[in-house]
Amino acid sequence: MTDFTPLASSIGGVLIGASAVLLMAASGRIAGIIGILGGVATGTRDGAFLDRAAFVAGLLAAPLLYTLALHEPVRQTVSSNLPLMVMSGLLVGIGTAVGGGCTSGHGVCGLARFSVRSLAAVLTFMAAGAATVFVVRHVLGG
């Protein structure tokens, strides 16, 4: 089970929303993490490479800054089941390719722009996530 953390979750949500708004205001780009990371990984030189690299650097720096500021490591639970993790990563990758974006692009930015396509994507991945949690916890006994 995971801890209920409404304050930390709310602060995180506000920071994610603020970063999406700042990115849109400063560059006119959507904060879809898969697209941003893909542009950095492939070395896309379209005038936004440095912006993308800075955004990814910020994502990587945030937990380090948290650890330095609070003198405790970021706690998260990651499965040690390598085949499960590989399969999960492949399914997420396929889902972002088929759905035309990731949770941040659709859920944070797309819904804020009242995109019907993003609403369909968010409803789909939320339903899939809820079904997965139910199966893992109640059918497989995880």
End position of a domain, from candidates 45, 77, 109: 77
Residue 56 near residue 40 (C-beta atoms within 8 A): yes
The pLDDT value recorded for residue 76 is: 79
Query: How far, in Å, CA of 129 to CA of 118, rounded?
Result: 16
Query: How far, in Å, CA of 26 to CA of 139, rounded?
Result: 47
Instruction: Say if residue 73 is in the same domain as residue 105.
Output: no
| In the chain, alpha helices (H) | 6-27, 33-41, 49-70, 82-99, 103, 111-112, 116-134
Instruction: Identify the band that residue 130 occupies on the pLDDT scale cut at 50, 70 and 90.
Output: very high
Res 61 pLDDT > 90: yes
Instruction: Say if residue 4 is in the same domain as residue 73.
Output: yes
End position of a domain, from candidates 59, 77, 95: 77
Number of domains in the chain: 2
pTM above 0.75, yes or no: no
Question: pLDDT tens digits, residue range 74-98?
Answer: 887 788 888 888 988 888 888 888 8
Question: pLDDT tens digits, residue range 35-44?
Answer: 888 888 887 7
Compare 77 and 126 and report the one with higher pLDDT: 126
The pLDDT value recorded for residue 119 is: 95
Instruction: Say if residue 95 is in the same domain as residue 44.
Output: no
End position of a domain, from candidates 77, 109, 126: 77
The pLDDT value recorded for residue 139 is: 87
Question: pLDDT tens digits, residue range 2-39?
Answer: 678 899 889 988 988 898 888 888 888 888 888 888 88
Boundaries of domain holding 132: 79-142
